[in-house]
A and B are shown apart, each in its own frame.
Chain A
């Protein structure tokens, strides 16, 4: 069973700063099936990145994904006020079919 660990748990930053979020898998996974989501309070998650590095439709280019094997990163180049939210990584595989990380909260410093 694959376990996803995200760090840090909370990231306190100011608008305009760069955010770097980490997602580590307990064993090597295919980057084809690694995704990132953003969730704001009271809202459904929103797909940001699929296949580790491809931006979903309508996602600004300040969001980027990278990584392979067991280590993946979501970067936000310059934080906008609307980017303060919780971010989850997710893997699609086997048993369980979907695994989500515990999330990283990006909050206002």
Chain B
């Protein structure tokens, strides 16, 4: 069974940092591209970042470029999102998602809440 489990969320002050993790199981993690998607409270879905298999290609949304860094450790079946210089508008539930061959996210984690507030 495919499972994605996020962790690392919490309350952080503006300007602070946080690192999210996504533990994958039930599939060959190293062969899939992975993504982070966030959802601010009461709002819609916003794509955040993409990493291809073997970390060959990385993309970011303009809203996080230069502040967030996506990475993966295939030996640990894990995806990461290092978030620096956090702002109030980064407050959201962050989901990791597995990408299929059609550019869809076929499996999602349960989400990790990040709250940026003083």
Contacts and interface: CB of A to CB of B under 8 A. Distances in A.
Interface of B: 35, 37, 44-47, 50, 59, 61-62, 95, 100, 102-111
A24 to B, nearest CB: 16
Main secondary structure on B side of the interface with A: strand
14 contacts: A32-B102, A32-B103, A35-B102, A35-B104, A37-B45, A44-B95, A45-B108, A50-B100, A88-B44, A90-B45, A90-B105, A97-B50, A99-B47, A100-B47
A100 B104 contact: no
Nearest to A56: B106
A98 B50 contact: yes
Given A33-B103, A39-B45, A47-B105, 20 more contacts: A35-B102, A35-B105, A37-B45, A44-B109, A44-B110, A45-B95, A47-B104, A47-B107, A50-B100, A50-B102, A51-B102, A57-B106, A88-B45, A90-B105, A92-B104, A97-B50, A98-B35, A100-B44, A100-B45, A103-B44
Interface in A73-97: 88, 90-93, 96-97
Contact of B106 (A32, A43, A50, A93): A50
B15 to A, nearest CB: 25
* The 8 nearest A-B residue pairs measured at CB: A92-B103, A98-B47, A44-B108, A35-B104, A50-B104, A33-B103, A100-B45, A50-B102
Interface of A: 32-33, 35, 37, 39, 43-47, 50-51, 54, 56-57, 88, 90-93, 96-103
A56 B105 CA distance: 10
B95 to A, nearest CB: 6
Contacts of B59: 96-97
A97 B110 contact: no
